[in-house]
Structure 1
Amino acid sequence: MEEVAEIRRLHFVEKATVSELAKQFKLSRPTIRKHLHTLDEPVYPVRKSQPHPKLGLFCNQLEQWLETDSRLPAKRRRTAQRLFECLQVEGYVGGYCAVRRYVKAWKQDQSASPPVTQVFVPLYFPPGETCQFDWSHETAVIAGIEQVVKVAQFRLSYSRQMFVIAYPRETQEMVLDAHNQAFAFFGGVPKRMVYDNLKTVVDAIFSGKERQFNRRFLTLANHYLFEPIACTPESGWEKGQVEKQVCDIRSWLFTPTPKFDDFVDLNTWLAQRCRELAARPHPEQTSRTTAECFIEEQPLLLPIKAVFDAYVEQMRRVSSQCLIRIERNRYSVPAQWANKAVSVRLTADRVRMVADGQVIADHPRHFGRDRLICAPWHYLPVLEKKPGALRHGAPFVTWDLPIAIKIVRDRVLKQDKGDRAYVELLLMARDFDNGLDALEMACDLTLQTGIVSAAIVLNEMRRLTEAARPVALSETVIATPVLTLEPTADCSRYDSLRSVSHVH
């Protein structure tokens, strides 16, 4: 409108011709004549429908995704950015703005209520000072089974460097192990850790900020020398960075649902993705990336002097079958501890039994149900008295032995008193550090002879495990004694014995 007013002033006041105005404003003469007759501000028609020259072919796919996501829980719905990335995989070459406008319009059509917004105060955190922690529940496919995994999320407040790791449980040993993994990933420990009032960290909530923290968790804080801080109940904005990270991680890493063989592969991929996402611009220092800010913050973290032993201990009684039940699974213990109380130390991936200050059993931890985890060596003392249990005993039936040992076992058990003879082989193998390897080699040597018996296998094992014989002294080191005066043979001396009578 300013240009129209100037054209009219120059023509009616300064008496400029249409040709001069067209040359001056670089417009056509019909346009100049139209502007000379314009008195009011021009009104342009509002476009009722937005054309989508590049998105048009993918509108049906995008709307189908939106309808599918609308039936999912809010935590599992894809954002416009994630939908844009999925469309790129399908071949979309347009921009993000078109996708964002389409998603926004679709959501407005589905809901007539206006969104509710909140106001927050901007915060500042010095480098190396604060880290925020939170749990989230995500969906992943592990070993072909879709399940809800618990994801521990850490975020350094200054650099915005994140770390996430997934677990099948949300128990205290998982919290302790997550801190070990996060501090190792960061290469240091922040001075303060901010938490919700989760039960694995806080035992009791008092007025204000006063809390009674869990004793085992305080042991972790004392080990790494960080200060734990609990938020006000139902005040998630006090750790808003990690709260937002939960939503971002869900859309970035868990939409669509990731598929892995086990938790080790999943966590390896999550750690790698955390490093890749650090290449994005910092939300406040936009001229720098998150990785560059983390390089500045990392030297200011507290050093890690030793890794915390992240276990939770509880007392359990061993059954008469030398088993301890832990979370609906049963783990074996050496037979001498049957019907006694022992200490059980649970970590994120191991189950250790401790008695008299020593680890008496160590098993990988399983998270299924009704599983029997046995170490056959724990039951060998029982076989000395009950060798018949060898044939149908669960620890021995499922024992994965080398092929040579299996062949010898099957032949020996068919012989008379073969079960007791085979028990003697196992007992002898137990007394050596590499006893199973020695037994395998002895069985292989026995099979080469063509005659299989427990006695031959025992003999071969003794030959393989016996101590080395002493080396003979060399003649060059110590000279052999030489006789200087050789005695002469005189048989007449024996006749002197005959001349004297002896009384018996």
Structure 2
Amino acid sequence: MLAVAEINYIRHEVNFKGCGYSSVAKKMGRDPRTVKKYAEMEDFNEKPKKKLTRTAPVIGPVKAILDEWIKEDLKKKKKFRRTAKRMWELLKEHHGFIGSDRTVRDYVSTRKKDFLNEVNDAALPLEAIPGTAQVDFGEAPFVYGGEEIVLPYLVLSFPFSNAFYFQVFPSQNRECFLEGMKRVFHHMGGVPKTIRFDNLSPAVKKILPNGERQLTDEFQNFVLHYGFECEFCNPNSGNEKGHVEAMVKYIRNNFLLPGLHVIELDELNKKLWGKAEKDRKRKHYQKKWKIEELFEEDKDAFLLLPAKEYECVRYETLKADKYGYIKLDLNLYSTSPRYALSKVLVKISYNRVDILNDDHQLVVSHSRLYGQYRKSMKWQPYLNLMAKRPTALKYTSFYDQLPEEWKNYFGSCTVTEKPEALKLLSIILKDHDFSVITKALVIASEYGHPSVDAIKQVFYQLINGRGIRSELSSKRSLPQLPVATRGLDHYDQLQKEVQHNE
């Protein structure tokens, strides 16, 4: 491109003075063809410069390999990523690369920036970028124990592919919220790189000015553990996560109505994985591809799972009342008599409430109660105390929970046997349920009322797999002994005989 002054001179000399191309070219020291070009030029609009594409005979054949390695590494923590030097060494060792390490370093540096820019652009879930997700709760009716109840279900949806997963929970609390996402992550084998949320109370403690959020401690730790970016809708702007809201309705209408009969939530949730995956056989409502094919693109963009699974629990220190109960969400849970009026550490998950001692060892474990003003009583830690007051046994709920065999046994126990039997149960029920110890009682009772030591001996024979000793046989015929009976009947009979003799 000539200077502007030269172009003006050419156009003036040729177009206004009528000079020839050769004469003007001679005066300027230019080629006549150049003079002709600018004299006749009519379009002076600026055009973008074409980018020169140079062939890269050395790096070209391995670009695809390097791109794949860079994409893999961006899903890992920085300390686990390959350096450009290491990539160069691997290329030489496995792919016969003959280029310099500088060539590889320059290429890797440029491509990392390109890919990171793509990731930054991807942090807009509404644009349906692969690997992004949205989360929300829905509600549906279920039939449990013959009664209709309403339970929440957590939905994780993927706007790019229109795929989804969902799990049913007893509540929308923090533990259920995190447990649901964790289950989906580990079932898929990856983590969405960006997830959009409503301002759910399990995640957001407080909405701050300028769009900032104060997150709950549990949610913040969960985000750090799995490494995804979280985005939140503006208050009262549910349309900003419109995909998951539409999917909540779709799931309810197609999978949860009419109300499903529920016996165990865990069993129901296992079946829901297959229902969500079977739904992907249909085509996307806009794109020509099947949802399951598009979901593979979502999965390719996922982050890798961390090596360790996150434990969705929280810890609280609570004070027990004089009976040893702690109160959690307006429900009562037993601890142990030794913790009455004392503080205990409580480990809380979506389905368990564990009471821990000062060394963080388990004292007693409860199934978590949902609803209000309910009570969970585990009697094992109280049995030693009950052994000191055995007459109170019949007036406790523990007695109502006893198998009939044990009720009958306690009914025929002597005053000294009852405390010993309660102490035995205190030991056995710490690690076992009633099934084996009740079987031991039945076997030990075959020849009459057994002692506590006899029940204990049979129990340990059963759990150690030694079997039961067979009855000893004798060649001698023994005289038939009268049947031994217990109680005061003998005393009454003796009194009658004495009175008769008098």
Normalised-by-shorter TM-score class: 0.5 to 0.7
1:208/1:232 contact within 8 Å kept: no
1:406-417 → structure 2 map (5 Å cutoff): 406-412=407-413, 415-417=414-416
Distance 1:427 1:255 in 2: 46
1:419 to 1:248, Cα distance in 2 relative to 1, 3 A: same
1:396 to 1:332, Cα distance in 2 relative to 1, 3 A: farther
- The structure 2 residue matched to 1:234, chosen from 233, 236, 261, is 236
- TM-fit CA distance, 1:190: 0.8
Q: Give CA-to-partner distance per residue, 1:321-359, whole Å, 9 cap, x none.
A: 122222343221122222211122222111112232222
Q: Which residue of 1 aligns with 2:367?
A: 364
- The structure 1 residue matched to 2:447, chosen from 446, 449, 453, is 449
Say whether residues 1:384 and 2:384 are aligned partners. no
* Local SS of the residue matching 2:142: strand
Distance 1:434 1:391 in 2: 23
Distance 1:198 1:292 in 2: 31
Q: Give CA-to-partner distance per residue, 1:365-396, whole Å, 9 cap, x none.
A: 12244433222211023123222222222234
2:141/2:258 contact within 8 Å kept: no
Distance 1:226 1:270 in 2: 25
1:376/1:396 contact within 8 Å kept: no
Q: Give CA-to-partner distance per residue, 1:153-210, whole Å, 9 cap, x none.
A: 1112322220112222211111111111221232211111111112221122223332
- TM-fit CA distance, 1:275: 1.5
| Residue type at the aligned position of 2:448 | G
Distance 1:257 1:164 in 2: 16
2:383/2:423 contact within 8 Å kept: no
* Local SS of the residue matching 1:274: helix
* Local SS of the residue matching 1:388: helix
1:278 to 1:447, Cα distance in 2 relative to 1, 3 A: same
Q: Which residue of 2 aligns with 1:420?
A: 419
Q: Which residue of 2 aligns with 1:317?
A: 319
- The structure 2 residue matched to 1:218, chosen from 212, 220, 227, is 220
- TM-fit CA distance, 1:259: 3.1
| Residue type at the aligned position of 1:454 | V
- TM-fit CA distance, 1:317: 1.0
Distance 1:387 1:209 in 2: 63
Distance 1:238 1:362 in 2: 42
Say whether residues 1:247 and 2:249 are aligned partners. yes
- TM-fit CA distance, 1:434: 5.2
1:446/1:457 contact within 8 Å kept: yes
1:329/1:370 contact within 8 Å kept: yes
1:322/1:334 contact within 8 Å kept: yes
- TM-fit CA distance, 1:224: 0.8
Q: Which residue of 1 aligns with 2:344?
A: 342
Q: Which residue of 1 aligns with 2:297?
A: 296
| Residue type at the aligned position of 2:315 | E
Instruction: Detail structure 1 runs of 4+ shifted over 4 Å in the superposition.
Output: 403-407, 433-438, 458-466
Q: Give CA-to-partner distance per residue, 1:103-141, whole Å, 9 cap, x none.
A: xxxxxxxxxxxxxxxxxx99533322x110112222232
| Residue type at the aligned position of 1:422 | A
- TM-fit CA distance, 1:430: 5.8
1:104-503 → structure 2 map (5 Å cutoff): 123-128=126-131, 130-286=132-288, 288-304=289-305, 305-356=307-358, 357-399=360-402, 401=403, 405-412=406-413, 415-427=414-426, 429=428, 433=431, 439-440=437-438, 442-454=440-452, 456-458=454-456, 460=458
* Local SS of the residue matching 1:315: strand
Distance 1:316 1:330 in 2: 11
Gaps of at least 5 residues in structure 2 are 1-123, 467-502
Distance 1:207 1:435 in 2: 55
1:447 to 1:351, Cα distance in 2 relative to 1, 3 A: same
- TM-fit CA distance, 1:458: 4.9
2:381/2:426 contact within 8 Å kept: no
Q: TM-score, normalised by structure 2?
A: 0.61
- TM-fit CA distance, 1:451: 4.0
2:356/2:362 contact within 8 Å kept: yes
CA root-mean-square deviation: 3.0
- Identity fraction in percent: 25
- TM-fit CA distance, 1:265: 4.2
1:443 to 1:154, Cα distance in 2 relative to 1, 3 A: same
Distance 2:125 2:173 in 1: 33
- TM-fit CA distance, 1:221: 0.5
Q: Give CA-to-partner distance per residue, 1:255-280, whole Å, 9 cap, x none.
A: 33333334334433433321121111
Distance 2:252 2:434 in 1: 48
1:197 to 1:429, Cα distance in 2 relative to 1, 3 A: closer
Distance 1:143 1:462 in 2: 38
